[in-house]
């Protein structure tokens, strides 16, 4: 029984699958050659991340496929309903990467409030000749403690962001179409914990109250944050998108940054991946990362193990 992990899988996942009689192939096959490879090698399960897509055409072309797995949360690169209608199992790993994504959100937040996204660009060029000038330019940082963090999308990842925010000492508010409230437990290293009940609210009130806004929503047909949304935010607010490209109107985002309506933004996902707009890449008020929210060693191990456990349960004879 052969499994193609086209975008890779952790050694922990490979080990668990191998122990249960599966052969794991980690060759990265080009999208236009994928169907032929699957059929020629009698692949029964295809595992993907963000790079590989599993659309209707691929599903129809590979009648031997029994399962498609996504190492991560969102499955917008898979025609899920169609695959299920053809009798395929479709799985993902919703719980494995929450902590990693949440920590990246705060990497962007902490870097932004202390201008690290700018000083890391300037110091190699001017650090030797203009040290005092740079020090003056970046001396007006602020603290996150005591500020209001607004979380749009309050599922697993949104609640993990809330845990960190509460631990930092932030006031946390949230908005979600489907969740009215959540008990968010902040666990300490010594086993003690604190549970905070957070009731969600309308998105417009969140936009008006929050100093920092973090998005944790699935891919949408329309923008979640557009020009009208930016106008409702506090002047000098901050937006972080480590969710999905296409949920933020990037033209309106640049306008809001240029006008000072936003003080900075952090982007891990982009509308035109893998070729983000140059205006975003060159903007000095944007902290950038290349869609690495789930890309920690710990998360990859958890993702591999969660995929392997589900595959063994569904496909092992």
Residue numbers annotated as active site: 244, 273, 291
Cα separation, 178 vs 180, in Å, equals 7
Spatial contact of 201 and 143, defined as CB atoms under 8 Å apart: no
What string of DSSP letters covers 160-229? HHHHHHHHHT-EEEEE-SS-SEEEEEEE-TTS-EEEEEEE---HHHHHHH-SEEEE-----SS-SB-HHH
Cα separation, 78 vs 14, in Å, equals 22
Q: 235: which DSSP letter?
A: T
What is the enclosing helix (H) or strand (E) of 70?
strand 67-70
* Number of CB atoms found within 10 A of residue 15's CB: 14
């Amino acid at each position: 029984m052969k499994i193609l992990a086209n975008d890779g899988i952790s050694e922990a996942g490979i080990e668990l699958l191998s122990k249960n009689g599966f052969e794991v192939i980690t060759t990265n096959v080009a999208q236009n050659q994928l169907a032929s490879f699957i059929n020629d090698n009698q692949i029964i399960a295809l595992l993907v991340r963000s790079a590989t897509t599993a659309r209707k055409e691929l599903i129809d072309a590979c009648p031997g496929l029994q399962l498609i797995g996504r190492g991560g949360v969102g499955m917008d690169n898979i025609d899920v309903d169609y695959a299920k209608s053809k009798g395929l199992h479709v799985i993902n790993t919703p719980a494995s990467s929450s902590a990693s994504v949440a920590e990246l959100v705060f990497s962007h937040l902490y870097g932004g409030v202390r201008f690290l996204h700018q000083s890391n660009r300037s110091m190699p060029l001017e650090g030797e000749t203009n040290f005092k000038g740079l020090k003056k330019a970046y001396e007006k940082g602020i603290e996150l403690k005591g500020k209001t963090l607004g979380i749009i999308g309050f599922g697993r990842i949104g609640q993990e962001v809330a845990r960190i925010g509460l631990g930092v000492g932030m006031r946390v508010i949230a908005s979600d179409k489907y969740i009215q409230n959540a008990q968010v437990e902040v666990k300490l290293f010594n086993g003690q914990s604190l549970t905070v009940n957070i009731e969600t609210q309308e998105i417009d009130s969140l936009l008006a109250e929050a100093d920092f806004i973090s998005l944790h929503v699935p891919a949408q047909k329309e923008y979640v944050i557009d020009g009208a949304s930016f106008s409702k935010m506090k002047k000098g607010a901050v937006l972080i998108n480590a969710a999905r490209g296409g949920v933020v109107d990037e033209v309106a985002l640049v306008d809001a940054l240029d006008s000072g309506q936003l003080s900075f933004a952090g982007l891990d996902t982009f509308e035109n991946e893998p070729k983000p707009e140059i205006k975003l890449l060159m903007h000095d008020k944007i902290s950038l990362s290349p869609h690495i929210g789930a890309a920690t060693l710990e998360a990859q191990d958890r993702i591999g193990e969660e995929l392997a456990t589900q595959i063994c349960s569904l496909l092992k004879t």
